[in-house]
């Protein structure tokens, strides 16, 4: 695991609550989510569609879609709170200190402007450099992310690039102002498997070179296994398990994480069917009392159905939100 900066974690999310007011009541999409990201660390965030992964990233960079709002908790960047900043101050942090790589490159790239115009504008907005210097940096960035003939291609429009090449441009754009943290939201979903691996490698290598931390949001545990230092598992807007990747993959503890691990095919697997988690994740207006996973859990008992578990420490680096690991229950079972 990456070392923690001497003044504390680079990013600290504490009891984050995100809500969506509706005519039928308020829906809670994130429910007291807490985690840290150390300087230079890659934290993977994984879970089913709708678990709250992308919402967490959007909340951190201040891009929640209305009427979504942060209704509780706090987000700190190097110890300074950023979730309550005025829009203009947050805009300066976004791009300069926190870069974003979206799932769809066309979300980040304006089709009406060349790649050069977009990169140069981003660099000059956040850094005090001349246009000539900004262009030089932009060409170097494109070259670094693997765009062939970068000096010539920089003047092309986004539609002149393939999907994989567009995503490389987006990574260059996210890294243009040399941010401390990069949030990558499903950056390889729409790409071929071979291209996915290249994109992840590029992102990880450049961030490592610059000492940037990465929050990698994905539903693909294979990507997490290859890339992340630690992994956070989200379920129905709550953190189920968090810890070092190797520990979580080799010995998952939360029943939901166990199910996720069992659903991943391996080259050595001989079983006819993969493990399947029964049922589906609940809608926001239908989350059960107690542990949100209890209706699908084969190990649930009475307490799981009435009382929500907080994260329980499992050693120095791991936490699991499951009553199976309550010290009192473990002592009773012995």
3-state secondary structure 85-111: CCHHHHHHHHHHCEEEECCCHHHHCCC
Q: Is pLDDT of 4 > 60? A: no
Q: Is residue 253 over pLDDT 80?
A: yes
Q: Which residues on neighbouring strands pair with residue 245, listed in sequence order?
A: none
User: What is the spatial distance between Cα 331 and Cα 104, in angstroms, rounded to a whole number?
Assistant: 49
Helix (H) or strand (E) holding 172: helix 163-175
Instruction: Quote the pLDDT of residue 193.
Output: 81
Length of the chain: 334
User: How confident is the model over 164-195, as pLDDT tens digits?
Assistant: 999 999 999 999 999 999 999 998 877 888 88
Maximum mean pLDDT: which of 97-101, 262-266, 276-280, 327-331: 97-101
Q: How far apart, in whole angstroms, are the C-alpha atoms of residue 256 and residue 292?
A: 10
Q: How much is the average pLDDT of 197-215?
A: 91
For residue 332, pLDDT beyond 90: no
Q: Which among 180, 181, 251, 177 is positioned nearest to 215, based on CA atoms?
A: 181
> What number is the average pLDDT over the span 103-124?
92
pLDDT value for 5: 43
- Assess contact for 213 and 78: CB atoms under 8 A: no
pLDDT at 28: 95
Residue 51, pLDDT score: 94
Write out the two tokens for 25.
């009541």
Give Cα 218 to chain centroid, integer Å.
Answer: 7
Residue 123: which residues within 8 A CB-CB, separation 6 or more?
129, 134, 137, 138, 176, 177
Which range has the worst mean pLDDT, 201-210, 239-248, 321-330?
A: 321-330
Q: What is the dihedral of CA 162, 163, 166, 170, to 10 degrees?
A: -170
Q: What share of the chain has pLDDT > 70, as a percent?
A: 92
The per-residue pLDDT for 173 is 94
CB < 8 Å & 24+ apart, contacts of 249-254? 249/221, 249/225, 253/314, 253/318, 253/320, 253/322, 253/324, 253/325, 254/293, 254/320, 254/321, 254/322
First-residue to last-residue Cα distance in the chain: 32
232: buried, middle or exposed (CB in 10 Å: 19+, 13-18, 0-12)? Answer: buried
Question: Cis (ω within 30 of 0) for the bond into 67?
Answer: yes
**Contact call for residues 185 and 14 (beta carbons, < 8 A):** no
φ, ψ (nearest 5 deg) of residue 274: -75, 160
Q: Is the pLDDT of residue 330 over 60?
A: no
Helix (H) or strand (E) holding 195: helix 193-210
Asked if pLDDT for residue 270 goes beyond 80, the answer is: no
pLDDT of residue 1: 44
Residue that wins the pLDDT comparison between 67 and 4: 67
| Mean pLDDT, range 150-177, rounded to an integer | 94
Cα separation of 192 and 250, whole Å?
A: 27
Q: What is the pLDDT of residues 54-68, one digit of tens each?
A: 999 999 999 999 999
| Band of pLDDT at residue 150, cut at 50, 70 and 90 | very high
pLDDT for residue 243: 97
pLDDT at 194: 81
Given this model, what pLDDT does residue 263 score? Answer: 66
* pTM, entire model: 0.91
On the question of pLDDT at 221 being above 90, the answer is: no
What local confidence, expressed as pLDDT, does residue 79 receive?
A: 95
List residues bridging with 33 in a β-sheet. Answer: 16
Q: Is the pLDDT of residue 267 over 80?
A: no
**Confidence band (pLDDT; 50, 70, 90) for 199?**
confident
Confidence class for position 103, pLDDT limits 50, 70, 90:
confident
Q: What is the pLDDT of residue 220?
A: 83
Strand partners, 243: 231
Mean pLDDT of 108-131: 95
Burial of 267 (0-12, 13-18, 19+ CB in 10 A): exposed
In angstroms and rounded to an integer, the radius of gyration of the C-alpha atoms of the chain is 21
Pair 187, 112: CB distance under 8 Å: no
What element of type H or E holds 45?
strand 42-46
Q: Categorize the per-residue pLDDT at 143 as very low, low, confident or very high, splitting at 50, 70 and 90.
A: very high
């Amino acid at each position: 695991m990456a070392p923690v900066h001497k003044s504390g974690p680079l990013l600290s999310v504490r009891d984050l609550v995100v809500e969506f007011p509706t005519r039928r009541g308020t829906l809670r999409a994130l429910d007291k989510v807490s985690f840290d990201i150390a300087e230079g660390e890659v934290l993977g965030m994984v879970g089913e569609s709708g678990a709250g992964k992308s919402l967490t990233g959007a909340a951190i960079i201040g891009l929640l879609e209305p009427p979504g709002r942060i209704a509780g908790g706090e987000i700190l960047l190097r110890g300074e709170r950023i979730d309550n900043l005025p829009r203009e101050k947050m805009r300066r942090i976004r791009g300069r200190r926190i870069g974003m790589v979206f799932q769809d490159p066309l979300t980040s790239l304006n089709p009406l402007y060349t790649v050069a115009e977009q990169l140069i504008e981003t660099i000059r907005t956040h850094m005090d450099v001349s246009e000539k210097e900004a262009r030089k940096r932009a060409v170097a960035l494109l070259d670094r992310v693997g765009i062939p003939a970068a000096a010539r291609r920089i003047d092309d429009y986004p539609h002149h690039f393939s999907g994989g090449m567009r995503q490389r441009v987006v990574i260059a754009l996210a890294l243009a102002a040399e941010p401390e943290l990069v949030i990558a939201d499903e950056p390889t979903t729409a790409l071929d498997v071979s291209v996915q691996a290249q994109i992840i490698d590029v992102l990880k290598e450049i961030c490592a070179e610059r000492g940037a931390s990465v929050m990698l949001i994905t539903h693909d545990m294979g990507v997490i296994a290859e890339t992340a230092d630690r992994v956070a598992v989200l379920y129905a807007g709550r953190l189920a398990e968090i810890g070092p990747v190797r520990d979580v993959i080799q010995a998952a503890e939360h029943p939901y994480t166990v199910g996720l691990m069992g659903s991943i095919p391996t080259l050595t697997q001989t079983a006819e069917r993969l493990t399947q988690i029964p049922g589906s994740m609940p809608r926001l207006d239908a989350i059960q009392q107690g542990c949100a996973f209890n209706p699908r859990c084969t190990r649930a008992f009475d307490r799981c159905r009435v009382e929500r578990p907080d994260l329980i420490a499992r050693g120095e680096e791991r936490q699991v939100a499951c009553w199976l690991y309550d010290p009192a229950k473990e002592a009773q079972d012995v």
